[in-house]
């Protein structure tokens, strides 16, 4: 970092190669300082300083720029304005507002803008009070569902020499003074530098996403990290947008990083129309969108995930649980690669720079549950989509991401092809937060959560293993108990894992309904096992019309556990009812229930019985 007061003599551009420029005679600049190029003052970031020659990457298109055009330092690294005008807004990768900007983004179009406002400020401290970074000194009247708390910026300490009386201020208005430092509603923060925190704490509670495949099977704790790899068409964006809409974080930052413009427009329209179940306000009001679609300048894409993370930390510091979703980190990594190739860095794997791993770690490691400087407990949870080229999960971005995240939600092309959504693979996904989340559920009235989950995972892997056996020997060759396991696997997939993102009742699923659906499948499975154990033919049970199991999730309300239990009782009665007539189609007249031991829950799936 540099001091802001430094005066720079104007530099001269001597080389232009795409977004890479070389500047001479710019005087004192620091690494990663932002310099401004030409009359349009296009921002660029310093990458290399070699004597009198400074190399920088421009954040916009440089068409028409000449050798000899001037360049000037700004005295600060790439910084984002953090203030009350963020929620509900949509910004580019450098956090410049896109709302109200021109229809077509020409270079320089996103320069100066007026400060939004006014915001009604109410002081909570008085002159003479001691002040330190992170301390709350006032609050803004709620403009959305999230109260905006005004804090002393990190690194500032002393006594409050002046604080404004209650009143209206623009977003850049000064509301207090500590020593010789004016405290404004909007502060600048360098996006590549993590905002300071009091202390890191262990994760303790789940971030509920409303998606059963995640919350029940691969849960994430608030303050932890998840990666979502999946080839195109596997529904990454759809799943992340479901989380964007329904997760129980206080503030959500969505970084659309090198993705589709139409999809983003669609998501924005949905967010504006949907209501937050907690506050009754439009979901958009708790959301900050950073949009750097795939055709916007590549270099701003590289900065966008840091901008998003900085905004998340800003709300964390106010005491909120923030969630940052980056879709897709692969496009961000590609921007990194594109640039490092131009800058002449030595390529490592697949042309990515050797620093790829540290760059990915630097992003995910900014997540965490913390005690803020001001003393509150708050968190930043981070999720990143990964788009492996050709669906190759061994490529560097996927492989490096797996090292640093706590949860992997791997999306499977075969499941998507079979229209099984969300296509979260139960073979390739993992969560290291199961114990934490299980303990939380146990403390919140669901002691059976961990046990039920383990059984469910076991059933899925048994069903997979048995399905490959059936391909070899046919269903009729399987003992009755195993045939019930296959049936339970199908119920688990259709009744619990699959979720209809467009369904009124199923788009989001509350924790009680989640557990009820899981309990429903487990109870029916137990009943079936009991029946075949008592000598009933497997085919008889298979022929029962139990298709209601896959419709329960759509038929009862988003968190209606009672409704699920009612349907469970009807289905249970169906299974326990005396058969009307023995089925002629039964190919397994003598159940061989004891011929094979019951597969262990959690057994590894095997490819073939041979």
Partner 1 sequence: MTEAEPVQLPVTFTGAKSTNGPLVVIGGVEGQVGWDDLASVTLPSGEVRRGLVLEIHHDLAVVQLLQGTSGIDPGTVTVSFEGRPLEIPVGEGWLGRVWTGMGEPLDGGPPMLSAQTRPVNGSPINPTVRSVPADPILTGISIIDGLTTLVRGQKLPIFSSAGLPHLELAAQLAAQANAGGEPFKVVFAAMGLPHADAATIRDVLEARSTSGDLALFLDTADDPVVQRILTPRIALTVAEYLAFECDQHVLVVLADMTSYCEAVREVSAARGEMPGRRAYPSYLYSDLASIYERCGRIRGKPGSLTLVPVLTMPANDITHPVPDLTGYITEGQIVLEPELHTAGIYPPVDVLNSLSRMMRKGTGEGRTRADHPPLAAQMIAGIARSQQSRDLSDLIGAAALTDTDRSYLDFAAAFAAQFVNQGVTETRTLDQTLQLAWNVVSILPRRELTMIPAADIDKYDTDGKDGKHG
> Nearest approach, Cβ of 105 to partner 1 (angstroms)?
5
Q: Which residues pair with 182 in a beta bridge?
A: 177
Q: Which is nearer to partner 1, 125 or 260 (CB)?
A: 260
Q: Which is nearer to partner 1, 65 or 78 (CB)?
A: 65
Using CB under 8 A as the binding rule, whether residue 294 contacts partner 1 is answered as yes
Name which of 5, 10, 80, 74 is nearest 45 in CA terms.
Answer: 74
Q: Which is nearer to partner 1, 63 or 597 (CB)?
A: 63
Using CB under 8 A as the binding rule, whether residue 47 contacts partner 1 is answered as no
Q: Which is nearer to partner 1, 121 or 254 (CB)?
A: 254
Q: How far is CA 528 from CA 273, 479, 597, in A?
A: 44, 13, 16
Using CB under 8 A as the binding rule, whether residue 505 contacts partner 1 is answered as no
CB atoms closer than 10 angstroms to residue 537: 22
> Nearest approach, Cβ of 391 to partner 1 (angstroms)?
6
Based on the number of CB atoms within 10 Å of its own CB, is 21 exposed (0-12), middle (13-18) or buried (19 or more)? buried
Quick one: which of 1, 9, 17, 579 contacts partner 1 (CB under 8 A)? 17
Phi and psi for 27 in degrees, rounded to 5? 85, -150
Quick one: which of 65, 221, 478, 488 contacts partner 1 (CB under 8 A)? 65
Q: Which residues, including other chains, have CB under 8 Å from residue 313's CB and lie 6 or more apart?
A: 194, 195, 322, 366, 380
Using CB under 8 A as the binding rule, whether residue 124 contacts partner 1 is answered as no
Q: Which residues pair with 411 in a beta bridge?
A: 424
Q: Which is nearer to partner 1, 77 or 308 (CB)?
A: 308
Using CB under 8 A as the binding rule, whether residue 476 contacts partner 1 is answered as no
- Give me the residue label for tokens 């298109």: 61
CB atoms closer than 10 angstroms to residue 51: 6
Q: How far apart are the first and last CA of the chain?
A: 64
CB atoms closer than 10 angstroms to residue 534: 9
Using CB under 8 A as the binding rule, whether residue 105 contacts partner 1 is answered as yes
Using CB under 8 A as the binding rule, whether residue 69 contacts partner 1 is answered as yes
* Chain CA centroid to CA 118, Å: 31
- Give me the residue label for tokens 């003599």: 9
Q: How far apart, in whole angstroms, are the C-alpha atoms of residue 469 and residue 605?
A: 11
Q: In this chain, which stretch among 17-25, 123-131, 436-444, 480-488 interacts with partner 1, using CB under 8 A?
A: 17-25
* Contact set for partner 1, span 555-594 (CB under 8 A): none
Q: How far apart, in whole angstroms, are the C-alpha atoms of residue 432 and residue 226?
A: 10
Asked if residues 24 and 56 have their Cβ atoms less than 8 Å apart, the reply is: no
Using CB under 8 A as the binding rule, whether residue 331 contacts partner 1 is answered as yes
Name which of 578, 429, 447, 426 is nearest 519 in CA terms.
Answer: 447
Using CB under 8 A as the binding rule, whether residue 166 contacts partner 1 is answered as no
Name which of 450, 446, 452, 409 is nearest 431 in CA terms.
Answer: 409
Q: How far apart, in whole angstroms, are the C-alpha atoms of residue 182 and residue 121?
A: 16
Quick one: which of 264, 397, 539, 556 contacts partner 1 (CB under 8 A)? 264
* Contact set for partner 1, span 233-252 (CB under 8 A): 233
Q: Which is nearer to partner 1, 291 or 486 (CB)?
A: 291
Using CB under 8 A as the binding rule, whether residue 111 contacts partner 1 is answered as no
Quick one: which of 2, 30, 49, 232 contacts partner 1 (CB under 8 A)? 232
Quick one: which of 258, 368, 489, 495 contacts partner 1 (CB under 8 A)? 258
Residues 369-398, one symbol each (x = binds partner 1 by CB under 8 A, - = not), give ------------------x-xxxx------
Using CB under 8 A as the binding rule, whether residue 98 contacts partner 1 is answered as yes
Quick one: which of 157, 204, 268, 470 contacts partner 1 (CB under 8 A)? 268
* Contact set for partner 1, span 297-326 (CB under 8 A): 298
Q: Which is nearer to partner 1, 39 or 569 (CB)?
A: 39
CA angle 49, 52, 55 (to 5 degrees): 40
CB atoms closer than 10 angstroms to residue 76: 17
Quick one: which of 1, 127, 130, 418 contacts partner 1 (CB under 8 A)? 418
Q: In this chain, which stretch among 112-120, 344-352, 430-438, 503-511 interacts with partner 1, using CB under 8 A?
A: 344-352
Q: Which is nearer to partner 1, 36 or 560 (CB)?
A: 36
Question: Can you say whether residue 149 is alpha, beta or left, with left for phi > 0 and alpha for psi between -120 and 50 degrees?
Answer: beta
| Number of shown-chain residues binding partner 1 (CB under 8 A) | 64
Using CB under 8 A as the binding rule, whether residue 39 contacts partner 1 is answered as yes
Q: How far apart, in whole angstroms, are the C-alpha atoms of residue 357 and residue 362?
A: 9
Q: How far apart, in whole angstroms, are the C-alpha atoms of residue 297 and residue 457?
A: 44
Using CB under 8 A as the binding rule, whether residue 544 contacts partner 1 is answered as no
User: HSE (CB half, 13 Å, CA atoms) of 444?
Assistant: 14
> Nearest approach, Cβ of 363 to partner 1 (angstroms)?
20
Contact positions vs partner 1 (CB under 8 A) = 14-18, 22, 38-39, 61-70, 90, 98-99, 101-106, 232-233, 256, 258, 260-266, 268-269, 291, 293-296, 298, 331, 334-335, 337-338, 341, 347, 350-351, 387, 389-392, 417-419, 502
């Amino acid at each position: 970092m540099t001091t802001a007061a430094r005066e720079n003599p104007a530099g001269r551009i001597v080389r232009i190669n795409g977004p890479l420029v070389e500047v001479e005679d710019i005087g004192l600049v620091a690494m990663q300082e932002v310099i401004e190029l030409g009359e349009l003052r296009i921002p660029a970031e310093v990458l290399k300083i070699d004597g009198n020659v400074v190399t920088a990457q421009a954040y916009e298109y440089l068409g028409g720029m000449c050798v000899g055009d001037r360049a000037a330092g700004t005295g600060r690294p790439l910084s984002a304005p953090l203030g009350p005008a963020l929620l509900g807004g949509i910004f580019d990768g450098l956090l410049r507002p896109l709302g109200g900007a021109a229809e077509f983004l020409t270079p320089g179009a996103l320069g100066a803008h007026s400060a939004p406002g006014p915001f009604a400020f109410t002081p909570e401290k008085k002159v003479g009070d001691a002040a330190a970074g992170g301390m709350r000194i006032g609050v803004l009247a709620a403009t959305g569902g999230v109260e905006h708390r005004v804090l002393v910026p990190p690194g500032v300490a002393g006594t409050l020499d002046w604080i404004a009386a209650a009143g209206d201020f623009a977003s850049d208005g000064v509301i207090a003074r500590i020593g010789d430092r004016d405290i404004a509603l909007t502060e600048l923060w360098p996006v590549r530098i993590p905002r300071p925190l009091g202390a890191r704490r262990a994760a303790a509670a789940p971030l509920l996403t409303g998606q059963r495949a995640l919350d029940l099977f691969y849960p994430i704790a608030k303050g932890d990290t998840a990666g979502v790899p999946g080839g195109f068409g596997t529904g990454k964006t759809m799943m992340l947008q479901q989380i964007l809409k329904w997760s129980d974080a206080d503030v959500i930052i969505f970084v659309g990083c090198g993705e589709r413009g139409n999809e983003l427009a669609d998501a924005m329209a949905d967010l504006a129309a949907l209501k937050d179940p907690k506050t009754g306000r439009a979901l958009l009001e708790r959301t900050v969108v950073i949009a750097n679609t795939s055709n916007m300048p590549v270099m701003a894409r590289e900065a966008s995930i840091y901008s998003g993370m900085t905004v998340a930390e800003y709300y964390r510091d106010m005491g909120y649980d923030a969630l940052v979703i980056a879709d897709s980190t692969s496009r961000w990594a590609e921007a990194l690669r594109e640039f490092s190739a131009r800058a002449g860095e030595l390529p490592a794997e697949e042309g990515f720079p050797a620093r790829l791993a540290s760059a990915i770690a630097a992003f995910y490691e900014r997540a965490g549950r913390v005690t803020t400087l001001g003393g509150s407990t708050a968190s930043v949870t981070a999720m990143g989509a990964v788009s492996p080229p050709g669906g190759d999960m061994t490529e560097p971005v996927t492989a490096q991401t797996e090292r640093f995240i706590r949860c992997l939600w791997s999306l499977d092309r075969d499941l998507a092809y079979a229209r099984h959504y969300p296509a979260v693979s139960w073979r390739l996904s993992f969560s290291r937060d199961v114990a934490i989340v299980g303990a939380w559920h146990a403390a919140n009235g669901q002691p059976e959560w961990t046990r039920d989950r383990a059984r469910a995972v076991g059933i899925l892997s048994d069903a997979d293993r048995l399905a490959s056996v059936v391909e070899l020997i046919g269903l009729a060759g399987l003992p009755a108990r195993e045939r019930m396991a296959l049936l339970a696997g199908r119920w688990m997939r259709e009744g619990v894992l699959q979720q209809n993102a467009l369904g009124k009742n199923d788009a989001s699923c509350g924790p009680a309904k989640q557990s009820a659906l899981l309990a429903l499948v487990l109870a029916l499975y137990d009943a079936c096992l009991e029946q075949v154990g008592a000598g009933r033919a497997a085919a008889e049970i298979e022929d029962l019309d139990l298709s209601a199991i896959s419709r329960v999730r759509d038929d009862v309300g988003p968190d209606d556990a009672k409704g699920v239990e009612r349907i469970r009782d009807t289905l249970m009665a169906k299974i326990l009812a005396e058969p009307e007539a023995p089925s002629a189609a039964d190919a397994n007249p003598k159940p061989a229930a004891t011929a094979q031991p019951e597969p262990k829950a959690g057994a590894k799936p095997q490819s073939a019985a041979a």
